[in-house]
Structure 1
Amino acid sequence: MKCKFIIFLIALTSCTHTARSQNNITLSVDVEKTPEMGFVISYLKESMIGMDFDDKGHAEYRIEDMDAIYLTLHNGFAEQKTIYAEKGDHIQLSFDGESMKKTLKMEGVRENIADYLKNVKISGPANKDFALDIKDFVKLLKEKVKKNQQLLDSLTPALTKESSKFIKLEKNRIKYMLGLSLLDYPRMHPYMAKIEYTPGDDYYNELKAWLEEDLNSLCLWQYRTLMTEVPTFIMSRKTPIHTPYEKAMKQMEYINNNTKDEQVKQNLLTIIANNYIKDAGIQKSTELDAFYRKHVTDKELLAQYQQTYDSWAAVSPGQPAPDFKAVDISDKEFSLKDFKGKYVCLYLWPCVSPAIQQFSELKKLQPLFKKKNIVLVNLSIDNKKDNWVQTIQNEEAQVGTHLYAGFDKHFLQKCHYSAASMVQFIFIDPAGKIIELQAPLQSSNMEDFIKETIQD
């Protein structure tokens, strides 16, 4: 039996049984009952991994190349728990999928650190505090950092016995978690102080002063966020930034020119370039790619970036489209080859309201589809076939060919499907090659795209 997933909750990362190593962090999970809403681990904010359980209720995941990491366990939407791990750790979790809080047992964790993380509550500034001028606001933040570190300070002897790294890392986690409030200050200050406000040198100087170049803190998403977003604030002060690509280029330019520690610099450049390519692909990233390869020389970082780059190159325009296996309402099997000879608009959708509403827009495009010899294939990626069967009976869904593929993570990974977007349109030519992997979602934009791209 496979674990059932809620589409919004997970990213498309496979979890397989992997060889254990002293250079990895291994997480093993055993459940008495498979969680109905899915079990996910998250770290570095952008990484969310859905666990696949086998017939015995076992799943395993390996994190590579991380000296230390904070992991958040998500049992569906209702339950979360943060744990800490270091390179070489093998953490074993067991619980009843219905209630992680009541039944969770952990082996391989540092018990004192686990208890600390269970009890610590980090509190940031209140809304009213944003009315303070920037110097007083920063003074308040520093006081709150010290207050939030009191529990940590009281437990330092016991925690140090379990990990010499944890104390400094946790102090930085608290510092940078509160430092994120500085990014909200330009928006919140005029509202709470009831004045007009344009950030000046004093604000930008405080932003810079909050940051330190620290290679070890790169495992903290709070630190990574500040170190990449502060350059955005500084660079947009001179020239407005309008697109994600402009933002990535400005971030990389600032970091390259202003970061002294070469390892920190190259890691930050890799984070920015990787995240941009993951989200947007490589089609319009020539300048970013050249900049990255010019300034990053670390072989491991280059390999990480190249892996992301190659995954998009494999599905760039002109490459064979990823094949799929699906069935229609009568369980007849289909694949992409069944539509060879025609243009295909492949619509990836789960059974949620925003995705279902797209059918009304697609109906408006049917005359254009017919004129251009385009077949609309609605490929359901919902994890429950019964939901799909019920949904396609609706009047608004009576358009195109409906097929059910289920949540095939390997196929969706190849398509670079994003759970955040929920839906995706892929245009494929009569030879089965990709025209566009992520076509416009709005019907008016899609109409323009079709007219410009597909000849009569």
Structure 2
Amino acid sequence: MNKIGCVFLMLTVLAFAGAGCQDKVILATKARVEFKNTVEGNFFFIPEGSTAGYPKIEPDSLGNYVYEVDLKEPGYFRYVGVNNNFYLVYLTPGARMEIQEGTDGVVFAGDHAAENMFLSKNVYLGAAPRDIPLYSAEWVRMNTEELNRLIKNLETSGLNPDFIRLQALKYHCDFYLQRLNGPTNTAMFAPQLKIELADDFYDFMKEVNFGDSSLVQIPKWFNMILGTFKQMERRGWIEVSPDKYMEIYAKRIKNEKVRSMFLVELLNFTLQKGFSDDFPVYLEGVRPYITHPEALKALPALETRYRESRETHKTILRGQVAPEFKAVDVKGKEYTSADFKGKVQVLDFWFTGCVPCRAEMPYMEKLADDMKGENIVFISMSVDTGDELMALWRKMVKDKKGAELQLNVPGGFKSDLVKKYLIHGVPRIVIVDEEGKIVDANAKRPSDPKLRMQLEQLVK
């Protein structure tokens, strides 16, 4: 490994190892933020990393602008000001804080005023000059230097030691997330930017064991850990197993709290994505690894949600007869499910405006090409409707030469087929066996090597 890689690996291991860290138990206490803006306009305050949108702060019955939240431990929030500037905000249980935005910017008062002013002036952006290729060795070197500069500023700031420790961890995690997700996000949202990664680009994650209990206070901590394991699977650094992958992940996480909370979030994430016939198998497999009291309390609610989801999805459980379909290719030729009788069918539901769908397409096309000749058919099921989207669909698929069959479902999201499969979002992968029965109505995405393994086992 080169010198830059060694430096970064040392930093991440230190950040995630948490040697000597004690897991403190703090009772939930309400924190309060009052806004004293002198400029008019909408502003927002949300947990950092939230994907729930930006509900604006509204005045209470007395005309005061206040945000209150119950906290069990210190955490991060985001203030989006009247002028659309973003500010990271540090809060602790019971804190009382004021944020005032004026024509000259934002001023923090009350608890943690000094910490939050520090954050406003010491932001990690993961940037580099335009002449430095994204995620190149030079980019890594420059960002490592920036990380070290910010942490030196932090350590010599004279601020609260607990804040210094947590913020140092956050800086490391921010850099880690840039390296973990940056190339994929760039390919998805800015494909015109050609990125060439060195063979050892992801080596920084090989030795990370997520051993610091404070990780669960860092925004996007769950996505960071899950993304790490998925990347490890793609690169063959950990075992790939369609039914035991949660147990494999659990064994890699050394800290009890992080491991327990991660597994609960992973089970929750599985339910959020849609019904999974394998949820009981996943739960029983990881139950011995969920030992932290806070995580144990969440299990009964997850089991209840699974039972409710099973009832909702009872028509598309494993073993049910798959709904029949009719779909057409770009030339208008009609195909039905009867045309593929006796073959395993992989149905890939998507539409042209779905960025994640388009990002998955190369993986599905490669999978279809690799399994050509097996007793399996890969069918791209576009749910585009309307003249404009249909024209775009035809343009996208007319020159595709791979093994995947390109079809469109008349009626799209309003079609009987989509309704019968209870599809509310895409991409959605459905697997049907040779007998026309459902194997998995909410299968893994094609970028996930667990889908390939599941299909290879099915056609043996």
One-letter identity of the residue aligned with 1:216: S
| 1:305–1:282 Cα change, 3 Å | farther
SS at match of 2:45: strand
| 1:102–1:130 Cα change, 3 Å | closer
Q: Does 1:289 align with 2:286?
A: no
Q: Which residue of 2 aligns with 1:269?
A: 263
Q: Does 1:84 align with 2:90?
A: yes
Q: Does 1:448 align with 2:417?
A: yes
CA distance in 2, matches of 1:186, 1:151: 29
| 1:237–1:87 Cα change, 3 Å | same
Q: Which residue of 2 aligns with 1:235?
A: 233
One-letter identity of the residue aligned with 2:170: R
| 1:447–1:191 Cα change, 3 Å | closer
Question: How far off its partner does 1:116 sit?
Answer: 0.6
**Deviation string for 1:315-339 (max 9, x for gaps)?**
76469xxxxxxxxxxxxxxxxxxxx
Counterpart contact for 1:22–1:88, Cα < 8 Å = no
CA distance in 2, matches of 1:33, 1:305: 46
Q: Which residue of 2 aligns with 1:61?
A: 68
The gaps in structure 2 that reach 5 residues or longer are 1-25, 314-352, 354-385, 387-408, 423-460
Q: Which residue of 2 aligns with 1:118?
A: 120
Counterpart contact for 1:270–1:301, Cα < 8 Å = yes
CA distance in 1, matches of 2:36, 2:311: 43
SS at match of 1:149: helix
Query: How many residues of Structure 1 are paired with residues of Structure 2 in the alignment?
Result: 297
Question: How far off its partner does 1:60 sit?
Answer: 4.3
CA distance in 2, matches of 1:46, 1:211: 26
Counterpart contact for 1:176–1:222, Cα < 8 Å = no
SS at match of 1:82: strand
| 1:141–1:30 Cα change, 3 Å | closer
Q: Does 1:72 align with 2:41?
A: no
Q: Which deviates further from its counterpart, 269-278 or 301-310?
A: 301-310
**Deviation string for 1:356-407 (max 9, x for gaps)?**
xxxxxxxxxxxxxxxxxxxxxxxxxxxxxxxxxxxxxxxx9xxxxxxxxxxx
One-letter identity of the residue aligned with 1:72: R
Equivalent runs, 1:383-402 vs 2, <5 Å? none
CA distance in 1, matches of 2:229, 2:88: 29
Q: Which residue of 1 aligns with 2:449?
A: none
CA distance in 1, matches of 2:410, 2:298: 30
One-letter identity of the residue aligned with 2:233: M
Q: Which residue of 2 aligns with 1:171?
A: 168
Indicate which of 203, 206, 224 corresponds to 1:205: 203
Counterpart contact for 2:31–2:70, Cα < 8 Å = yes
CA distance in 2, matches of 1:75, 1:442: 43
| 1:35–1:233 Cα change, 3 Å | farther
One-letter identity of the residue aligned with 1:23: A
Indicate which of 2, 5, 28 corresponds to 1:23: 28
CA distance in 2, matches of 1:130, 1:145: 18
Counterpart contact for 1:278–1:308, Cα < 8 Å = no
Question: How far off its partner does 1:123 sit?
Answer: 3.6
CA distance in 1, matches of 2:30, 2:174: 24
SS at match of 1:180: helix
Q: Which residue of 2 aligns with 1:322?
A: none
Question: How far off its partner does 1:137 sit?
Answer: 5.9
**Deviation string for 1:268-293 (max 9, x for gaps)?**
21232223334436776333333343
**Deviation string for 1:178-210 (max 9, x for gaps)?**
122322576579998876x6x75x444322246
CA distance in 2, matches of 1:452, 1:177: 38
Question: How far off its partner does 1:314 sit?
Answer: 5.6
| 1:289–1:178 Cα change, 3 Å | same
| 1:148–1:223 Cα change, 3 Å | farther
The gaps in structure 1 that reach 5 residues or longer are 1-20, 320-353, 355-395, 397-439
**Deviation string for 1:211-257 (max 9, x for gaps)?**
64211132112544322211010113349999xx96x974x344212
Indicate which of 295, 298, 302 corresponds to 1:301: 295
| 1:150–1:284 Cα change, 3 Å | same
Q: CA RMSD in A?
A: 4.7
CA distance in 2, matches of 1:309, 1:281: 13
Query: Percent of aligned positions with the same letter in both sequences?
Result: 13
Counterpart contact for 1:27–1:91, Cα < 8 Å = yes
**TM-score normalised by length of structure 1:** 0.51
Q: Which residue of 2 aligns with 1:368?
A: none
| 1:37–1:292 Cα change, 3 Å | farther
Question: How far off its partner does 1:166 sit?
Answer: 0.9
CA distance in 2, matches of 1:273, 1:165: 31
Counterpart contact for 2:183–2:195, Cα < 8 Å = no
Question: How far off its partner does 1:170 sit?
Answer: 1.3
**Deviation string for 1:384-431 (max 9, x for gaps)?**
xxxxxxxxxxxx9xxxxxxxxxxxxxxxxxxxxxxxxxxxxxxxxxxx
Counterpart contact for 1:282–1:309, Cα < 8 Å = no
| 1:261–1:224 Cα change, 3 Å | same
| 1:207–1:239 Cα change, 3 Å | closer
Counterpart contact for 2:76–2:91, Cα < 8 Å = yes
CA distance in 1, matches of 2:103, 2:301: 37
| 1:207–1:105 Cα change, 3 Å | closer
Equivalent runs, 1:366-377 vs 2, <5 Å? none
CA distance in 1, matches of 2:90, 2:237: 41
Question: How far off its partner does 1:169 sit?
Answer: 1.4
Equivalent runs, 1:143-154 vs 2, <5 Å? 143-153=145-155
